[in-house]
Amino acid sequence: MTVNFSTTDTLQDSNLADLHYLQQFAVSYEFPVVFTEDLFNADNLTLRDALCRLEPEKRHKCLVFLDQGLCSAQPDLVQRIKSYAGHHSQHIDLVAGPVLVPGGEKIKSHLHFVEDMQRTLYEHHIDRHSYAIAIGGGAVLDAVGLVAATTHRGVRHIRVPTTVLSQNDSGVGVKNGINLYGQKNFVGTFSPPFAVLNDLSFALSLGERDKIAGIAEAVKVALIRDRAFYDWLERNSDALAIFERAAMAKMIRRCAELHMRQIGQGGDPFESGSARPLDFGHWSAHKLEGMTSYHVRHGEAVAIGIALDSRYSVLKGLLSPGLDERICILLEHIGFKLWHPLLEKKSDTGNLVLVDGLRDFREHLGGELTITLLEDLGVGVEVHEMDLDLVAQSIAWLKARQVV
C-alpha cells in the first residue's frame, strides 16, 4: 500500500509494515539576473537592491571573494568595492576587505581553497541570511558557489561574473563545483544563486584570448537552440572578432537568455535525467581540458568540440554536408584554433585517449550515454551512442583542415 503523505492517523492500522508514504513537495526558485555597467559606482544601485530584495530595511552582512587575476588587472577594484559598501553602509555591512582567491582552474583543482573559504565564512560569522559574494570568472563562481551551498547548508550567494564566458553561460546557471581525481566538477551541488549581476565593463576589460574564448558558448547554444541567433553571429562576426561593444553586449545577453530558458523551462534544471541538453561539444572539451592540465581554456576546448561534433554529425548523416565547414569558418573568423595535437594522442593499447571523455560524460550523470549532435543549424538532436571510427575520422578531418 502506498499513500501520499498527510496527517492521517495511522496508529490504528494493523499492517504498518506494508504502509509506504510518498513524500511530495515542490520548491520554487527565482533570482534576478541583471545586466549593467560600472557596478561599483556609488550611484549604481544594482548590488544594493539585490542585497535588499527580501529585507529592504536590514543592514546585510557581506563577505566578498575576489578573483586575484581581476584584482591584478584592476588594482583599484578593492578600494572601489570598499567605497561602495561605505557609501551604502546603511544597507551593506562589509565584514572584511575583499578576500583574494586564485582565478581559473587553479581554484577548482585543490580542496584546500574550499576549506580556506569556509573557514573565512566561519571566522566572520556569516550565517544563512548573510551573503557570500563572488566576483570573478566562472571557476571562481563555481568554487565560491560550492562553499556557499555547503556552509550552514546554504548561505546567500551573489555572483558577479566578470568574463564573457561566465556572463553568457555559467553565471546564470544553478551549478557549482570543483574538480577532483582528474574529473571536472566531480564535487559539486545544484544550488541557485541569490542574484546574478553582470557588469559588461568587466567582460570587455579582459585580454583578447579570454574574450574570444567566451564566444564559443554563444555559437554552441545558437547551433542547438536558435537559428536566428546563429545567423546573427555570422552577420556580426567581424564586429565580434574585434570585440565591438554593442555586438558583444547583445551576444552576451542573448546567450544568457537561451541558457536561462533551458534551465527555467527545459523541465530538468537539476539534471536528474541522463541528458545534458546544453552541452553540445562538451564531451571532448572536458577531456581535452584535463589532458592539457587546463592550459587550453574551457571556451577554446568547446570550440574544438563543436567543430568535432559538427563533422561527426555530417559523417553520421544527421547534418547536411558543408555545414560543418561553415561552422568552422565562423569559429575561426572569431579567432579560434580548431586543432590541438592531443586530439590524436593514443593510449598504450592504441586507443584514442580523447574517447575516454565519452565514459566520463556518461558517468557524470549516470544512466545511458546522451550526446547532443546537430540535425541543422539551430536544431540539436540527442543520440545515445557514438561510433568511435567516425570520431577518429572527425579528428583526422580537423587535422587535415589545419594543413590546408
**316 grid coordinates:** 553520421
Is the model's pLDDT at 126 over the cut of 70?
A: yes
Say what the pLDDT of residue 46 is. 97
Going by the DSSP 8-state scheme, the letter that residue 389 receives in this structure is H
Q: Over the stretch 23-52, which tens digit does the pLDDT of each residue have?
A: 888 888 899 999 999 999 999 999 999 999
E strand or H helix at 314, and its extent?
Answer: helix 298-315
pLDDT bracket for residue 68 (50, 70, 90): very high
Q: Over the stretch 129-145, which tens digit does the pLDDT of each residue have?
A: 999 999 999 999 999 99
Which residue ranges make up each domain of the chain?
A: 33-204, 208-403
Paired with 383 in beta bridges are: 371
Q: Which of 8-22, 74-88, 361-375 has the highest mean pLDDT?
A: 74-88
Report d(CA 372, CA 358) in Å as an integer: 12
**400 grid coordinates:** 587535415
Least Cα distance to 63 among 3, 117, 8, 9 occurs for 117
CATH class of 208-403: mainly alpha
pLDDT average, residue stretch 250-256: 95
pLDDT bracket for residue 21 (50, 70, 90): confident
Least Cα distance to 81 among 95, 105, 64 occurs for 64
Q: What is the pTM of this model?
A: 0.88
Residue type, 356: D
Going by the DSSP 8-state scheme, the letter that residue 153 receives in this structure is T
Say what the pLDDT of residue 267 is. 63
Q: What CATH topology corresponds to 33-204? A: Rossmann fold (3.40.50)
Is the model's pLDDT at 378 over the cut of 60?
A: yes
Is the model's pLDDT at 265 over the cut of 70?
A: yes
Burial class (CB in 10 A: 0-12, 13-18, 19+), 124: middle
Nearby residues of 363 by Cβ (< 8 Å), 6 or more positions away: none
Where do runs of H (alpha helix) occur along 191-297? 200-204, 208-225, 227-235, 237-241, 245-265, 282-291
Report d(CA 230, CA 232) in Å as an integer: 5
pLDDT bracket for residue 3 (50, 70, 90): low
Is the model's pLDDT at 274 over the cut of 60?
A: no
Estimate to the nearest angstrom the gap between the alpha carbon of 168 and the chain centroid.
Answer: 9
**98 grid coordinates:** 575583499
